[in-house]
Amino acid sequence: MDPKVLIVEGSSDRRRLMPMLAEPVVIICTNGTISSYHIEELLEPYEEQDLFIFMDADASGDSIRKLFIQLYPEARHLFTDRLYREVATTPLKVLAGILVAANFKVHPNYLAGGVNGKLDN
């Protein structure tokens, strides 16, 4: 089975999510606002895989998400709370819950709200 593909805005989002995942996942960064041509070019190798879109809860994330809805209506969208605005600033426990709800395997220590005994707020 091919790994899931998680599309995020930036490398800080990728760095935040990668250690949490307990399964192989391809994480692709859009690096901010991009065109529909760029999205199609970026995702061409992954079109047969399960696509998950996880954008920031801000204007830039909303506009990128709209492009994905048009181009890949079958993709599943993950949302962080607007309170946190960005994937990179969402508490780890909250991110873990979002990922688990989307059927990603997450290391259990993230679900408990801490990593290596340190709580993440």
Q: How many domains does the chain have?
A: 1
pLDDT bin (cut points 50, 70, 90) of residue 33 is low
**Beta strands in the chain, from DSSP E residues, in sequence order:** 4-8, 25-29, 51-55, 76-79, 114-115, 118-119
Tokens 């990128």: give the residue. 64
Domain limits at 105?
4-119
Cα 110 to Cα 20: distance, rounded to the nearest angstrom: 7
Which phi and psi (to 5°) does residue 54 adopt? Answer: -130, 90
pLDDT in tens, 70-107: 999 999 999 999 999 999 999 999 999 999 999 999 99
What's 31's domain CATH number? 3.40.1360.10
Task: Kindly report the pTM of this predicted structure.
Answer: 0.89
Residue 58 pLDDT > 80: yes
